[in-house]
Every structure is written in structure tokens, then in C-alpha cells.
Amino acid sequence: MLIVIVMALLSLGVVMLASTSNVKAEATFGDPYYFLKKQLLWLAAAAAAALAASRFDYHWWQKLAPPLAVVSIVLLVLVFAPRVGVRIGGSRRWLRLGPLSLQPSEIAKVALVIVLSTWMARIGRRAKQLVPGLLVPAAGMGVALGLLITEPDFGTTLLVGMVGMLILYAGGTRLSYLAVTSVLGLAVFIMAVLQDPVRMGRVMAFLMPEKYPATAYHLAQSKVAFIRGGLFGVGLGNSIQKQFYLPEAHTDFILAIIGEELGFVATCGVLALFLGMLICGLIVSFRAPDPFGRLLAFGLTVMIALQAAINIGVVTGCLPTKGLPLPFISYGGSSLIGSLAAVGILVNIARHAAATRQDEHTRPIKDRTHRL
């Protein structure tokens, strides 16, 4: 069921990208299928990554956690290096590798889930202690979050912080410790937003769009797209908003074009698919044969689900504008590879859970949740 849901999201993404990006691609590159062709190449690479991850025994990720952490930090630092890091829209989030571009934050998200899951599974019952259960993993998270917010990438910073706290909670860290840490982290995040004129402008435009029409332009045009779509949409390919009225229509705001062309029913279908993916991922987590598998499946599932929730919240005007793509649907190679690799790992965990014989790596869980 998880594979079927992801296939449905990918298929919808390809169809909507072909419809949404053709105007901009024709005007910019003289080829209406420019973005579609690139996305199909990325999709082939992402499918290969997913297949490899589904065949790779997930227990080995525990041994790869330390080098993954180091590689992720190095890549996040390299975005600030001249000639290697690329500055787009006031942010340094990309690495230029010849003809290819890479977004290190997408690698860092998956790596963080693996590293935290490895650590929490390793310390076991000691998770309730302050130092191993909170201070050590929080220090590691702090390094990654600090680099992300310096880029600046506030959306990914918020997402990674939330996912990290959830993994610690699932791993057994005391709720009181997490509550205090979350409040302190949120205070630092708010202070960083207050010091950034661009992000502060987005917050003010979200709160008072009538006073800041220029900054709130994305949100206003997104709402127009949903209003025009109505219940069943204006028809595939008939969007007006993609005619340069709605910026980033093929990336962060692609759901608005889905709402315009296919209507409210299709938008609810997208929500249902992500909800189904969340349920499938949680079932895989509950059925995982060992603590590491449970935490890893849980972390990867909530990472994808929370990113989808934040994107949907932004597009529908429930949250201030952030630069997070809609998983499996928005244009972008790094996000696609990261999301499909995460799904591949989930599939591998599910296969181990369904196996009648456990391998030598597995330390079985014996608790009420696993029996249920």
C-alpha cells in the first residue's frame, strides 16, 4: 500500500509538472518540456536510489551513521564556500557540481533521522537520563540546525527541529526535558526570524496581508488559484495562474495549480494520499522487529508527512511562506531523491518485519506496542 500511494503521488507530480511548468519553460528555455525532462531524469535516479535502499539491510545504517553525520555537516558548510556554493534568492542552499546542483539540506534531513535513531536505540533505557537522552543528541542537532538557519533556510530548520524532537520523544527522552528544550529552541528561532527582514516581512504579510500586498503576493495568487478551481477545477492545462501570475508554480506552490486545474476534490485526494502514507509508515514503525527499525521508520515517516503538512499549510494560507517543496510532486531533484530513498528504507524495514526468521543484526522488541 505504501508503494502504491507513493506511485500515485509521483504520477500526479509528473502530470502536473508537465502542465504547470510548460509556460515558464517555453519562455525561459524555448522548450515547454524542459523542466519535465529534467524531472524525469531525476525521477530515474531517485527510483534507483529507492530500489537500492529497499534492498540494503537497514541495520547497516547504524554503522554508517557517524560518516553520514560528518558528510552532512561538510556539505552544509560547503554551501558557504565561494565558487562551490550557489546563492539564489538571498540564500546559500545549493552546491554546484558541474552541470548538476545539489541541496545538502535534503541529505542532512535523512542523515539526521538515521543518526538520532542510531543513538536513541543504542542508549536504550538511559534515554530518560539528561545527558545521554537529551544533551548529547541536542548538541548534534544544534550543529546542523545552526548551519541550516545560517544559509538561511528557516523552513528546513523548523522541519528538522520538529522531527528531531519527535524521535527523541519516541526514543524515551523525558517529556519535561523536551518541553524545556523546545521552548528554548523556539525562542532562538523566533529571534532569528526577527533579525531577518525578509522572513519577518513574510510573517507580517501572513498576519496582515492587506497592509503588505507586495510581500503577500504569493499567498494571494495561491488563494485565487483555489477559488478559480472550485469543486472540480477548470480542467487540466487550463490554469491562468501559471501564466506568471503565481511565482514558483511548479515548485513550492504546485498544489495551488492542482486545486485550480483539478479542483477541491483532487486537492482532498492529495491530502488523503499523504494521510495514507503517514498511516502506512506508522504501521511499519509499530511492526519493526527492533528498536532501531522502529525509530528509523517513525522518523522517516514523520519527516515526509510534516514537510507535506508545512507545504500545504503555506499554500493554503495557514502558515507564513516557506521554501519547502511538496514531497514527490514539486519540481526538484534533491528533494525527490531524498524522499524516495526514505521510502526505500521504509520498505526494507517492512520486509524485515514480515520475515519469519530474524537475522543476526536484529535485537527484537518485547513490549506492548510490538505485540499489538
Mention every residue, 6+ apart, whose C-beta is less than 8 A from residue 45.
333, 337
Q: Which domain holds residue 163?
A: 67-195
Residues 94 and 191 in one domain: yes
pTM score, two decimals?
A: 0.92
pLDDT of residue 101: 78
Residues 77 and 162 in one domain: yes
Name the pairing type of β-strands 85-88 and 100-102. Answer: unpaired
Query: If residue 366 lies in a helix (H) or strand (E), which one and from where to where?
Result: none
| Sequential DSSP letters for 8-76 | HHHHHHHHHHHHHSHHHHHHHHS-TTHHHHHHHHHHHHHHHHHHHHHHS-GGGHHHHHHHHHHHHHHHH
Residues 36 and 118 in one domain: no
Domain total for the chain? 2
What pLDDT, in 10s, does the model give residues 304-348? Answer: 999 999 999 999 989 888 778 999 999 988 899 999 999 999 999
Q: Which residues pair with 97 in a beta bridge?
A: 100
- Rounded distance, CA 18 to CA 304, Å? 23
Residues 29 and 85 in one domain: no
Residues 106 and 166 in one domain: yes
The rounded Cα 220 to chain-centroid distance in angstroms is 24
Residue 145 covered by a domain: yes
Residues 8 and 120 in one domain: no
Residues 22 and 126 in one domain: no
Residue 366 covered by a domain: no
pLDDT of residue 372: 43
Residues 239 and 103 in one domain: no
What pLDDT, in 10s, does the model give residues 135-180? Answer: 999 999 999 999 999 888 888 999 999 999 999 999 999 999 999 9
Residue 330 covered by a domain: yes
Q: Is 190 exposed, middle or buried (0-12, 13-18, 19+ CB in 10 A)?
A: exposed
The amino acid occupying position 172 is G
Determine contact, residues 251/332, Cβ cutoff 8 Å. Answer: yes
pLDDT of residue 356: 52
Three-state secondary-structure class, residue 97: strand
Residue 61 covered by a domain: no
Spell out, as residue ranges, where the chain has pLDDT lower than 70: 89-90, 356-372
Determine contact, residues 160/76, Cβ cutoff 8 Å. Answer: no
pLDDT of residue 157: 92
Residue 95 covered by a domain: yes
Residues 13 and 78 in one domain: no
Q: In what order do the strands lie in the sheet with 100-102?
A: 85-88, 91-97, 100-102
Residue 263 covered by a domain: yes
Residue 370 covered by a domain: no
